[in-house]
Amino acid sequence: MSFFIRNVGRGSGAQKRKLNGYHGKTSKAQFASKRLKKANKSVHNDNESIASTDEEFAEDNIRKNTEKFESETEEEEEETAQEKSVRLAKKYLQEIEEQERDRAEFEEGAVAQRLREEYLEQKGRLKKTVASNYIGHKELILLRCKEHIGPITCICLSSDGSTLYSGSKDGSLVKWSVKEKIKLKAIKRKKGKTKGGMKSIQCMAISTDGKFLVVGGNGCNDIKVFSGDTLDHIKNLQGHRKFVSGLIFRKDTHTLYSASEDRSVKVWNLDDMAYVESLFGHQSGITFIDALSRERAITSGGYDGSIRIWKIVEGSQLIYNGHSLGGNTIDVVKLINEENFLSGGDDGQLCVWGCLKKKPLYSLPDAHGRDETNGQPMWISSIATLLNTDLVASGSRNGAVKLWQCGQDFRSLNLLFEVKLTGFINALTFTPDGTQLIAGVGNEHRSGRWWRIPEAKNSIVIIPLINKKDK
């Protein structure tokens, strides 16, 4: 199978692609990018000189934030492209300066450092070496509530790490305060037809601005859209033919990517609550989906043994194979930056990948050991990454949570320490500041009932991490 496939599964092509409310081949951001290039050209004609690296740097940051200022498009006709690009750049710089001044200390060069980090992040070359500072954990904090009767299947955090959302096999949805460690609001599934309810929640995602919370799962093929603030039900997004198994928002947008047991990936625009397009290629039900800032999504294909990166704009996909074939599944895939990701499944391997390589950069067999009763590898059921760093966590069906350091060029994994819990580690996520690791624990695996651990408590476990730099 080819590593690179173009124009796969985009349908008949009769309907033009719709993105952020605009139709046609050229998106708003692409149009702004073209006008920016014209402005740069006119600047050179006026004998103004600018270093090529700085020009690329400025262009990337302006393009990245063009959508943020689209509300000001009414002024476009009254100003040239050059004037607009300068105005948007100044406004973006002013916002960064204000954010940096809000911190305890305003260091000299903070704005330049922030811009450089954002540029490197966008290019997938930002890597902060922090993992070696983590030496253990403090006392575990257990969060339980009467709504979550069944196993916790999925969790997601707000962009500032202050609010946690959790879903359960019993169909209940709970909003938590991470700081106060209390339940803020809950929706409990009732028997029969309920507004916004479903039989079992399998996946969820929160938009960067916290406006939309989306939920998918068994018993209903729709995507449920809630208010991230009030948990009020807003709308059902219909289109998948089987249950939704993965949801993720593109960073800083209301573009939603969904994956399903029907083997498709769908793109949605939540500003208009509209379907955009479908992408096909997996040969079995999709088990997980992830995305960052780029117009790309990455999925694991379960029993088809593949991982795929979907290049949305180009209408193409990259295919990666590296796990054991012949009945094994890839259950989870997680980006650590724009160029590297990790994967795990029931073969017990923890794999580290680079986007430009068809095979893993590094594979660790039996990352969580083997089952003493049957000799089978311990199933890796969840992975968390601290974005743009070298810190990774993995969870298994035996209740073990392991923290790892990615080595140089992501070509090795070194175990830092292990946290022993009881139950299936169905979900993991780091808080954005890296001070806590949060686990969703259940007495059953999130996708089925192959095993059951009666003594396990269906709960959220907050693991406060010890960083030697804080001592």
Contact between 393 and 413 under an 8 Å Cβ cutoff? The reply is no
Q: Are strands 134-137 and 306-311 parallel, antiparallel or unpaired?
A: unpaired
Output the pLDDT for position 92. 75
Tell me: pLDDT of 9 over 50. no
If asked whether residues 297 and 409 sit together in one domain, one would say: yes
Output the pLDDT for position 7. 45
Q: How long, in residues, is the chain?
A: 471
Lowest-confidence pick of 340-349, 443-452, 457-466: 443-452
pLDDT tens column, 153-187? 999 999 999 999 999 999 999 999 999 999 999 99
In a domain, 181, yes or no: yes
Output the pLDDT for position 45. 43
Work out the percent of the chain whose per-residue pLDDT is above 70.
74
In 233-385, the DSSP E strands lie at 233-237, 244-249, 255-260, 264-269, 274-280, 288-290, 296-300, 306-311, 316-321, 330-335, 340-345, 350-354, 362-364, 380-385
If asked whether residues 115 and 141 sit together in one domain, one would say: no
If asked whether residues 161 and 55 sit together in one domain, one would say: no
Mean per-residue pLDDT for 378-394?
A: 96
pLDDT tens column, 95-138? 766 766 655 444 556 667 666 666 666 655 667 899 999 999 99
- Model's pTM, two decimal places? 0.77
Output the pLDDT for position 108. 55
Lowest-confidence pick of 31-40, 123-132, 314-323, 448-457: 31-40
Residue appearing with tokens 């106060």: 180
Q: If you average pLDDT over every residue of the chain, what do you get?
A: 82
In a domain, 10, yes or no: no
Output the pLDDT for position 119. 67
Residues 6+ away with beta carbon under 8 Å from 56 = none
Task: Output the CA torsion 99→101→102→104 (10° steps).
Answer: 130
Q: Are strands 306-311 and 296-300 parallel, antiparallel or unpaired?
A: antiparallel
Contact between 130 and 390 under an 8 Å Cβ cutoff? The reply is yes
In a domain, 11, yes or no: no
Tell me: pLDDT of 196 over 60. no
If asked whether residues 84 and 164 sit together in one domain, one would say: no
If asked whether residues 186 and 163 sit together in one domain, one would say: yes
If asked whether residues 405 and 293 sit together in one domain, one would say: yes
Tell me: pLDDT of 465 over 50. yes
If asked whether residues 135 and 116 sit together in one domain, one would say: no
In a domain, 385, yes or no: yes
Mean per-residue pLDDT for 295-307?
A: 92
In a domain, 2, yes or no: no
In a domain, 443, yes or no: yes
Domain boundary among the residues 90, 123, 156 is at 123
If asked whether residues 172 and 76 sit together in one domain, one would say: no
In a domain, 251, yes or no: yes
Tell me: pLDDT of 37 over 80. no
If asked whether residues 238 and 89 sit together in one domain, one would say: no
Domain boundary among the residues 123, 144, 171 is at 123
Return d(Cα 33, Cα 22) in angstroms, integer.
16
Output the pLDDT for position 373. 85
**The token pair that represents 421 in the structure block:** 């819990």
If asked whether residues 105 and 177 sit together in one domain, one would say: no
Output the pLDDT for position 218. 86
pLDDT tens column, 66-102? 555 444 444 444 677 777 777 877 777 777 667 666 5
In the structure, what pLDDT confidence band is assigned to residue 437 with cuts at 50, 70 and 90? very high
161: left (phi over 0), alpha (psi -120 to 50) or beta: left
Terminal alpha carbon distance of the chain: 52
Q: Which residue has the higher pLDDT, 315 or 461?
A: 461
In a domain, 32, yes or no: yes
CA 105 to chain centre: 31
Domain boundary among the residues 123, 146, 173 is at 123
In the structure, what pLDDT confidence band is assigned to residue 148 with cuts at 50, 70 and 90? very high
Output the pLDDT for position 199. 84
Q: What is the CATH number of the domain that holds 429?
A: 2.130.10.10
* Alpha helices, DSSP H, located in 362-429: none
**The token pair that represents 335 in the structure block:** 């980006």
Task: Count Cα neighbours of 352 within 13 Å in the Cβ-side half-sphere.
Answer: 23
Output the pLDDT for position 85. 77
Q: Which domain holds residue 264?
A: 131-470
Output the pLDDT for position 40. 46
Distances (CA, A) of 417 to 314, 386, 471: 42, 16, 18
Return d(Cα 367, Cα 351) in angstroms, integer.
9
- Give the DSSP letter of residue 376: P
Return d(Cα 201, Cα 216) in angstroms, integer.
6
Mean per-residue pLDDT for 201-230?
A: 95
Contact between 266 and 240 under an 8 Å Cβ cutoff? The reply is yes
If asked whether residues 365 and 417 sit together in one domain, one would say: yes
If asked whether residues 398 and 323 sit together in one domain, one would say: yes
Tell me: pLDDT of 65 over 80. no
The number of domains in the chain is: 2
Contact between 437 and 465 under an 8 Å Cβ cutoff? The reply is yes
Contact between 116 and 132 under an 8 Å Cβ cutoff? The reply is no
pLDDT tens column, 357-373? 999 999 999 999 998 88
